[in-house]
Structure 1
Amino acid sequence: MHKLIFREILSVTMILFAIIDILGAIPVIIQVRQRVGHIESEKASVAVLVLMIGFLFVGDQLLAIIGLDIASFAIAGSLVIFIIAMEMILGVDFFKEEIPQAASIVPIAFPLIAGAGTMTTLLSLKSQYQTQNIMVGIVLNTIVVYLVLKNVKWLEKLLGPIGLSILRKAFGIILLAIAIKLFRSNTHL
């Protein structure tokens, strides 16, 4: 029986919010906006939504083609999430990505928002939560992404550098706990 479960929706929404880290991405978004002049928040948000929902439905088929199961991918995903969490907590970049002279879709929608960490997380979540609850979490996060992109100048002034740093570290600790939970729930030792 498939039904919407508020607890699952809340969990998925918070996990995706932490991994997408749209608030932590504000400095990068500001840098891109300064280079290109304007970010089309509608285009970027639609691209994020399409990428995440598409990967949610075909990601496991892609894994089957290369002979991997979701639990193995979830464990690999937990390790990626662990590293991202450590980046957020320690302020060190393990993943280096150059920002090209593009605009809303690349690099904002992909890989900044709906990148490898988000895609890995979606498949990891699929091993623990019902698909319809994950989809609601994706839609809610896309709305937050849109609102942040639309109001990035205002948020920059409101939070300031110290506020952004505190948020990034707090979400890093949450992600670290999520990574450990995903690893433990997908290993059968």
Structure 2
Amino acid sequence: MNFKDAFTASMILFAVIDIIGSIPIILDLRKKVGHIQSEKASLVAGIIMIAFLFVGEEILNLIGIDVSSFAVAGAIVIFFLAIEMVLGIQIYKEDAPETASIVPIAFPLIAGAGTMTSLLSLRAEYALPNIIIAIVVNLIVVYLVLKLSGRIEKLLGQSGLNVIRKVFGVILLAISIKLFASNVGGLIN
């Protein structure tokens, strides 16, 4: 276990999950469908992430894709997520969910495509215990944000949430470029 690697992996996942930037979505879901089960959503998202961390690479091998290829594809997905965050545009559009059960919160909001891609990309660069620590740290943050989203909104205000979202977007943009640069060489060889 390496504290620096665990911290870096935690920050990468934090930026990808973007739970702070998702507060407006969470608040909108609460208004539409009522109570969100923070514990259940966090637990299911954790199970999805850890399962994908362990079997995701085998699934890729089964269909003939190596981790470097997936990491490069993930870097591109993360790049577009960052562009959405920084520019305030929406590239991926999704229909509004009818319920705020596990499906819209745990998947895809927390453990979505960007998170899955990031997990396999992280696996190409960091040791497994560091990634598991990063997942656990992020699940704690996700749980707290889900539980306290109303208070966080009042504390930060809409402009504060927008600033945080843009800062993490720039960080995510830099991460995507680093991830692309460190894995594209494996594809060329």
TM range (shorter): over 0.9
Give TM-score, length-normalised by structure 2. 0.97
What is the CA–CA distance in structure 1 between the aligned matches of 2:3 and 2:179, rounded to whole Å?
20
User: For residue 66 of structure 1, what is the aligned residue in structure 2?
Assistant: 63
1:54 to 42, 48, 51: 51
Residues 8-157 of structure 1: pairs in structure 2 closer than 5 A: 8-157=5-154
User: For residue 181 of structure 2, what is the aligned residue in structure 1?
Assistant: 184
Residues 164-183 of structure 1: pairs in structure 2 closer than 5 A: 164-183=161-180
What is the CA–CA distance in structure 1 between the aligned matches of 2:97 and 2:88, rounded to whole Å?
22
| Equivalent residue letter for 1:60 | E
Q: Does 1:6 align with 2:14?
A: no
Q: Deviations over 1:47-75 (max 9, x none)?
A: 11101000000100110111000000000
What is the CA–CA distance in structure 1 between the aligned matches of 2:101 and 2:37, rounded to whole Å?
6
What is the CA–CA distance in structure 1 between the aligned matches of 2:184 and 2:18, rounded to whole Å?
26
Deviation (angstroms), 1:99: 2.4
Deviation (angstroms), 1:102: 1.4
Deviation (angstroms), 1:101: 1.0
Deviation (angstroms), 1:104: 3.2
Give TM-score, length-normalised by structure 1. 0.97
Aligned length: 186
What is the CA–CA distance in structure 1 between the aligned matches of 2:11 and 2:97, rounded to whole Å?
29
What is the CA–CA distance in structure 1 between the aligned matches of 2:73 and 2:96, rounded to whole Å?
26
Q: Does 1:161 align with 2:150?
A: no
SS in 2 for 1:127: helix
Q: Deviations over 1:67-111 (max 9, x none)?
A: 000000000000000000000000010011122111231101100
What is the CA–CA distance in structure 2 between the aligned matches of 1:133 and 1:12, rounded to whole Å?
7
Structure 2 gaps, min length 5? none
What is the CA–CA distance in structure 2 between the aligned matches of 1:35 and 1:87, rounded to whole Å?
24
Deviation (angstroms), 1:166: 0.1
Structure 1 gaps, min length 5? none
Would the aligned equivalents of 1:41 and 1:104 in 2 still touch at CA under 8 Å? no
